[in-house]
Amino acid sequence: MADVLSQSQIDALLNSMNSGGGSSEPEPKSVQAEKKADPEQVKYNKYDFYSPRKFTKDKLKILSSVFENYARIITSQINGVFRVMTDITVMEVQERRYYEFVNGLHENDVVMLVNAVLPDSNRSLVPLRIYVTPGLVITLVDHMLGGSDDAVKVKDGYRYSDVEIALYRRILSYLIQALKDGFANYINMEFQAERIEENPSMIQDVGLDETVAIIILNVDLAGLAVERIRICIPGTLLEAVFQAIDSSKHIARGYAYEDNRDTILENIRQSLLPLTGQLGTVSLDLSDIYHLKVGDVIDMNKPKDRDVKLYVEKQPWFTGKMGVYKKNVAIRINRRLYENETDEEVVLTSALPGQEGSPSYDE
């Protein structure tokens, strides 16, 4: 009598036939453990050498800082104006091609075109694009009209009505105004809404292969839904912005001291600084110093009419002549050290009584 196959043997035989034959025996546990222990393959970003990157990592870090600040601002605005609990964070700031932004949109998606005005510039720049997912727009519209606190779920490719388009413009105005505050730490820019485009494929002012910066903001609607805000900044606009930021930094470095010189001097004018007139220097043994008494004379190793140095905070600044001014020992400043400028003569006096034979500065 032939042996009857068990159900497990039948399953192993079927699996072997489906896989193209081979042993029907299960793999040893050691082999299975090795497969599980294999590390995951590392994923690398592809780099196109035919179209190299135009913006460095430092520039993208500046852009990330700008939109992190922008995300905090619009979070507080949306929460305060629309009474919706949201948490908006920067999800991605990347340099891409324009077709990557367009391919992520549907035919019925609505995009707002925003003009950027740089300070002291009359250049006509390509506007940036802002796209907000319909779920976020309809949820905010629902709250504007007194709806419930729940998030409204909308399918991709939703077509807005005329009333919703008008409210869409009102909602986007808050997002556009906050852009100025987002860039305020680096440059003073103005942003103005140009128009609403209801068919993204009809926008022809940017080439599909042109370099752009795509910023994706993640919008968490109180844990009920997750929506997106996508901002596309054309490369020409971004270059102009970075040039304006760099020029403002150079101006700040070049004129910081000149512009603030009078203010700084005015603020430190009342500061007290010790002035010391040095007649000369001499070295004495400790035994000589120990036996010094009133009336002893110390040779300073210099003529009496030689200039003395005047120190400000232990730094030599002036030279001058010893004399008497209103019966006090004084120093008339002759020149400033390390400079060839001729300064107005200044007389500094001490509280000591004048000595005979010293020049008088009373005239």
Name the residue with higher pLDDT: 338 or 104: 104
**CB crowding 280-290: b at 16 or more within 10 Å, else e:** eeeeeeeeeee
Q: Give the pLDDT confidence score for residue 69 in this predicted structure.
A: 93
Work out the average pLDDT over 249-261: 57
How does pLDDT run across 3-57, given as a tens digit for each residue? 566 777 777 777 777 665 554 455 555 545 555 555 566 766 666 665 667 788 8
- Whether 84 contacts 78, CB under 8 Å: yes
Rounded to 5 degrees, φ, ψ at 203 are -80, 120
**CA dihedral defined by 18, 22, 23, 28, rounded to 10 degrees?**
-90
Average pLDDT, the chain: 80
- Whether 310 contacts 318, CB under 8 Å: yes
How does pLDDT run across 119-176, given as a tens digit for each residue? 777 777 889 999 999 989 988 888 888 777 777 888 877 888 888 899 999 999 999 9
Determine which of 44-48, 292-296, 308-312, 353-357 has the lowest per-residue pLDDT on average: 353-357
Measuring CA to CA, which residue among 287, 209, 195, 231 is closest to residue 52? 209
Work out the average pLDDT over 286-310: 84
Quick check: 108 pLDDT over 70? yes
Question: How far is 93 from 231, CA to CA, in rounded Å?
Answer: 10
Question: How far is 236 from 125, CA to CA, in rounded Å?
Answer: 7
Q: Give the pLDDT confidence score for residue 130 in this predicted structure.
A: 94
Work out the average pLDDT over 309-326: 86
How does pLDDT run across 257-275, given as a tens digit for each residue? 456 778 888 888 888 888 8
| Sequence-separated (6 or more) residues with CB below 8 Å from residue 183 | 66, 189, 241
Local confidence band at 332 (pLDDT 50, 70, 90 cut-offs): confident
How does pLDDT run across 196-225, given as a tens digit for each residue? 988 887 888 888 888 899 999 999 987 788
Local confidence band at 309 (pLDDT 50, 70, 90 cut-offs): confident
Quick check: 89 pLDDT over 90? yes
**CB crowding 178-195: b at 16 or more within 10 Å, else e:** bbbebbeebbebebebee
Q: Give the pLDDT confidence score for residue 345 in this predicted structure.
A: 47
Domains of the chain, by residue range, sit at 57-249, 272-280+301-363
Q: Which token pair is 292?
A: 């010094």
Which stretches does DSSP call E strand in 134-210? 190-197
Q: Give the pLDDT confidence score for residue 3 in this predicted structure.
A: 58
Work out the average pLDDT over 62-67: 92
Determine which of 241-255, 283-297, 310-324 has the lowest per-residue pLDDT on average: 241-255
Q: How many CB atoms lie within 10 A of CB 171?
A: 19
Percent of the chain scored above 90 by pLDDT? 19
Q: Give the pLDDT confidence score for residue 24 in this predicted structure.
A: 46
Put simply, whether the predicted model's pTM sits higher than 0.85 gets the answer no
Quick check: 302 pLDDT over 70? yes
Work out the average pLDDT over 325-349: 69
Q: Which token pair is 15?
A: 């699996």
Per CATH, is 272-280+301-363 categorized as 2.30.330?
A: yes
Which stretches does DSSP call E strand in 305-362? 308-312, 315-325, 328-336, 347-353
Quick check: 254 pLDDT over 70? no
Q: Give the pLDDT confidence score for residue 217 in this predicted structure.
A: 94
Q: Which residues pair with 227 in a beta bridge?
A: 219
- Whether 182 contacts 188, CB under 8 Å: no
Quick check: 310 pLDDT over 70? yes
CATH class of 57-249: alpha beta
Q: Give the pLDDT confidence score for residue 258 in this predicted structure.
A: 52
Q: Which token pair is 263?
A: 């203010």
Quick check: 350 pLDDT over 60? no
Measuring CA to CA, which residue among 342, 334, 340, 337 is closest to residue 361? 334
Same fold, 57-249 and 272-280+301-363: no
User: Where is 319: in which H helix or E strand?
Assistant: strand 315-325
